[in-house]
Amino acid sequence: MSVNKVILVGNLGKDPEIKYVMDNVPVATFSLATTESYKDKDGNRQDKTEWHNIVAWRGLAIVAEKYLQKGKQVYIEGKITSRTYDDKDGVKRYFTEIVAEQLQMLGKKEDGANSGSNGGGNNYSNSNQQQAPAPVHQDVTEATQQMGSDDLPF
């Protein structure tokens, strides 16, 4: 048995970008920053920020496009995926991303979004179809295998 599970809480680095691939399947991409604070050997506080590439498919893509904006805090639950591709110069590139399976908006209540600090935030997931504006059940592996290099959302 193995487990591929990622939980991130961070701030969006840019507004989600949405594209439609295959049979008009929406896919959203955005970056998420997580920051860790620590004290160095001299006792000075240091911040280290990690940037994560997030991909959301189908209903979660629509939710991301509608509600997420640069700077907003969000909880993401998903899995790590890696892939390779050849860039325009023929150089093999490696790309690691988080495929979102659940997201919850956190922070202050703005623009109709609920605060997540008390557990009342809008929570969207693959198994939470009644809240999402579009069906969110998905087979990401199958969809990724069907995509051609011209269909990649990045």
Given a cut of 60, whether residue 89 has pLDDT beyond it is yes
Considering the domain boundaries, does residue 129 fall inside one?
Answer: yes
Considering the domain boundaries, does residue 147 fall inside one?
Answer: no
Considering the domain boundaries, does residue 149 fall inside one?
Answer: no
Helix (H) or strand (E) holding 140: helix 140-146
Kindly state the DSSP code that residue 56 receives in the 8-state scheme.
E
Give phi and psi for 104, each to the nearest 5. -140, 130
* Predicted confidence (pLDDT) per residue in 72-83, tens digit: 999 999 999 999
The reported pLDDT for the residue numbered 107 is 80
The pair of three-digit structure tokens given for residue 3, joined into one six-digit string = 């487990």
Pairwise CA distance, residues 138 & 16, whole Å: 19
Considering the domain boundaries, does residue 70 fall inside one?
Answer: yes
Pairwise CA distance, residues 33 & 54, whole Å: 10
The reported pLDDT for the residue numbered 118 is 38
Given a cut of 90, whether residue 18 has pLDDT beyond it is yes
CA distance to 29, 36, 70, 130, per residue, from 62 (Å): 11, 30, 16, 14
Considering the domain boundaries, does residue 98 fall inside one?
Answer: yes
Given a cut of 50, whether residue 114 has pLDDT beyond it is no
Handedness of CA 106, 72, 18, 27 (dihedral sign): negative
Rounded average pLDDT over 121-128? 62
| CATH number of the domain residue 83 falls in | 2.40.50.140
Q: How many domains does the chain contain in total? A: 1
The pair of three-digit structure tokens given for residue 9, joined into one six-digit string = 């809480």
Considering the domain boundaries, does residue 12 fall inside one?
Answer: yes
Rounded average pLDDT over 104-133? 55
Give me the domain span that covers residue 22: 6-142
Residues 6+ apart with CB under 8 A from 136: 58, 59, 60, 124, 125, 126, 128, 129
The pair of three-digit structure tokens given for residue 154, joined into one six-digit string = 């990045």
Considering the domain boundaries, does residue 154 fall inside one?
Answer: no
Considering the domain boundaries, does residue 27 fall inside one?
Answer: yes
